[in-house]
Amino acid sequence: MGILIKNGTVVSATESKSLDVLIEGETIACVDVGIGEDGHEVVDASGLLVMPGGIDVHTHLDMPFGGTTSADDYTTGTQAAAAGGTTMLIDFALQSQGHTMREAFDVWRAKSKGKACVDYSLHMAVTDLGLGDEAEGEQRGLREMEEMVAEGISSFKLFMAYPGVLMIDDGLMFKVMQKAAALNALCCVHAENGSAIDVVVAQMIAEGKTAPHYHALSRSPKAEAEATHRAIALADMAGAAVYIVHLSNEDSLAALKFMQSRGAKALAETCTQYLVLSIEDQMPGKSWDEAKYVFTPPLRERWNQAPLWDALADGALAVVSTDHCPFRFADQKELGRGDFRKIPNGGPGVENRLQILWHFGVNAGRISPERFVALSATNPAKIFGMEKQKGRIAEGLDADILLWDTKAEYTISAATQRMATDYSMFEGWKVVGNAAKVYSRGELVVDNVAQPGKFLGATGRGRFVKREANAGGFA
Ligand code: URP
Ligand code: ZN
Ligand code: ZN
pLDDT over 90 at 272, yes or no: yes
CB 104 within 8 Å of CB 157? no
Is 323 near ligand 1, meaning CB less than 6 Å away?
Answer: yes
pLDDT of amino acid 133 = 64
User: Which of 325, 333, 343 should be mutated for ligand 1, with most atoms under 8 A from CB?
Assistant: 325
pLDDT of amino acid 220 = 98
User: Do strands 430-440 and 443-447 pair parallel, antiparallel, or not at all (unpaired)?
Assistant: antiparallel
pLDDT over 80 at 39, yes or no: yes
Which element (helix H / strand E) includes 123? strand 119-125
* Cα–chain center distance at 376: 9
Is 248 near ligand 1, meaning CB less than 6 Å away?
Answer: no
Is 60 near ligand 1, meaning CB less than 6 Å away?
Answer: yes
Task: Please state which CATH class domain 51-394+464-473 belongs to.
Answer: alpha beta
How confident is the model over 76-88, as a mean pLDDT? 98
pLDDT of amino acid 136 = 62
Is 58 near ligand 1, meaning CB less than 6 Å away?
Answer: no
- Measured CA distances, 319 to 43, 145, 280, 309 (Å): 30, 25, 25, 11
CB 466 within 8 Å of CB 90? no
Is 70 near ligand 1, meaning CB less than 6 Å away?
Answer: no
For residue 165, give the ligand nearest its CA.
1
pLDDT over 70 at 135, yes or no: no
In this structure, which residues have their CB less than 5 angstroms from ion ligand 3? 323
pLDDT of amino acid 137 = 61
pLDDT over 70 at 410, yes or no: yes
The alpha carbon of 189 and the centre of ligand 2 are apart by a number of angstroms equal to 8
pLDDT of amino acid 257 = 98
User: Do strands 49-52 and 9-11 pair parallel, antiparallel, or not at all (unpaired)?
Assistant: parallel
CB 164 within 8 Å of CB 174? no
Collapsing DSSP states into helix, strand and coil, what is residue 210? coil
CB 231 within 8 Å of CB 168? no
pLDDT over 60 at 303, yes or no: yes
pLDDT of amino acid 134 = 56
Helices (H), 239-288: 250-261, 272-276, 279-282
Domain boundaries, the chain: 51-394+464-473
How confident is the model over 129-133, as a mean pLDDT? 78
pLDDT over 90 at 130, yes or no: no
The alpha carbon of 61 and the centre of ligand 3 are apart by a number of angstroms equal to 10
pTM here is 0.98
Q: What percentage of the chain has pLDDT greater than the value 70?
A: 99
The alpha carbon of 295 and the centre of ligand 1 are apart by a number of angstroms equal to 6
Is 346 near ligand 1, meaning CB less than 6 Å away?
Answer: yes
How confident is the model over 231-235, as a mean pLDDT? 98
How confident is the model over 375-385, as a mean pLDDT? 98
281-298 core/surface letters (b: 16 or more CB in 10 A; e: else) = ebbeeeeeebbbbbbbbb
Which DSSP symbol is given to 195? H
The alpha carbon of 472 and the centre of ligand 1 are apart by a number of angstroms equal to 22
For residue 56, give the ligand nearest its CA.
3
Is 417 near ligand 1, meaning CB less than 6 Å away?
Answer: no
DSSP 160-172: SSSTTTTB--HHH
Is 190 near ligand 1, meaning CB less than 6 Å away?
Answer: yes
The alpha carbon of 38 and the centre of ligand 2 are apart by a number of angstroms equal to 50
User: Do strands 41-44 and 49-52 pair parallel, antiparallel, or not at all (unpaired)?
Assistant: unpaired
CB 303 within 8 Å of CB 324? no
pLDDT of amino acid 79 = 98
pLDDT over 80 at 461, yes or no: yes
pLDDT of amino acid 253 = 98
pLDDT of amino acid 352 = 98
Collapsing DSSP states into helix, strand and coil, what is residue 137? coil
Quote the strand ranges of 331-455, DSSP E.
Answer: 401-411, 430-440, 443-447
How confident is the model over 208-219, as a mean pLDDT? 98
pLDDT of amino acid 131 = 78
The alpha carbon of 245 and the centre of ligand 2 are apart by a number of angstroms equal to 7
pLDDT of amino acid 138 = 75
> Which atom belonging to ligand 1 lies closest to the Cα atom of 345?
1
